[in-house]
Copies of this chain bind each other. A is one copy, B any other.
Amino acid sequence: MLFYDAVNPAPNPRRVRIYLAEKGLSVPSETLSIVAGEHKGAAFLEVNPLGQIPALKLDDGGVLTESVSICRLFEAMHPEPPMFGTGPRGIAEVDMWMRRAELRLMVPLAMVWVHTHPFTARVVKPQYTEFGESQRPRVTGAMREFDRALADREYLDGKSYSMADIVLLSIIDFAGFVGIAIPEEQEHLRAWHDRVSARPSAQA
């Protein structure tokens, strides 16, 4: 097994690193430089033609991609402690919070990143900057939804730290890199962010 990794602020490979740290698992890895374009180079495109990190090469030569799916593989191999919820409702809730983080928060954040940021301007031509800017309030609006949800709970699923918290943490920190901080008044989300950032796994 070989895990293809990239350094922060890339949010997707970080999810896998945090997950592995929480589970106490260790996997051989190779770190590629996104800044140097190694994820679009010939060597890595042979591994993952989509040119996306993370990827996991399996012992039979097969390749898995998608951060959460790679973690689901490890979860099925090492179920304890459970990170994807327990029982029908717990499983559904962790999945729901992950989907909301991806679809309601990460999607508009990605649009801000791709269409307004100087870093992406080097490769994204044209940037639709007016559209990109219009997505900024959507990002803080989605943050507000999470802030409200966290008013009465320590972690997203209301039970324990889960994969949903990992996904949200990776996105919130990426938002900070893009220049969108958690608004001052979102005290529940800020307290949650302090809480999850204090876990040793957050250093991953």
Measured in the bound complex, the distance between the Cα atoms of B62 and A89 in whole Å is 10
Measured in the bound complex, the distance between the Cα atoms of B72 and A107 in whole Å is 22
Which chain B residues border A190 with CB–CB below 8 Å?
A: none
- In the complex, the answer to whether A73 meets B99 with C-beta atoms within 8 Å is no
Report the minimum CB–CB distance from A115 to chain B (whole Å): 8
A177 interface hit (Cβ, 8 Å): no
Measured in the bound complex, the distance between the Cα atoms of B69 and A62 in whole Å is 27
- In the complex, the answer to whether A91 meets B72 with C-beta atoms within 8 Å is yes
Report the minimum CB–CB distance from A152 to chain B (whole Å): 13
Which chain B residues border A76 with CB–CB below 8 Å?
A: 87-88, 91-92
Known: A76-B87, A131-B131, A134-B128. A99 touches B145 (CB 8 A): no
Measured in the bound complex, the distance between the Cα atoms of B128 and A96 in whole Å is 29
Which chain B residues border A145 with CB–CB below 8 Å?
A: 50
- In the complex, the answer to whether B89 meets A73 with C-beta atoms within 8 Å is yes
Report the minimum CB–CB distance from A146 to chain B (whole Å): 12
Which chain B residues border A100 with CB–CB below 8 Å?
A: 65-66
Measured in the bound complex, the distance between the Cα atoms of B90 and A76 in whole Å is 10
Report the minimum CB–CB distance from A148 to chain B (whole Å): 9
Measured in the bound complex, the distance between the Cα atoms of B64 and A82 in whole Å is 20
Known: A76-B87, A77-B88, A88-B73. A66 touches B99 (CB 8 A): yes
Measured in the bound complex, the distance between the Cα atoms of B91 and A70 in whole Å is 10
A38 interface hit (Cβ, 8 Å): no
A95 interface hit (Cβ, 8 Å): yes
Additional 20 contacts, C-beta under 8 A, given A64-B93, A102-B102, A128-B131: A50-B104, A58-B89, A64-B92, A65-B96, A65-B100, A66-B95, A66-B96, A66-B99, A68-B99, A69-B93, A69-B95, A72-B91, A72-B92, A73-B91, A76-B88, A77-B88, A102-B103, A115-B131, A128-B128, A131-B131
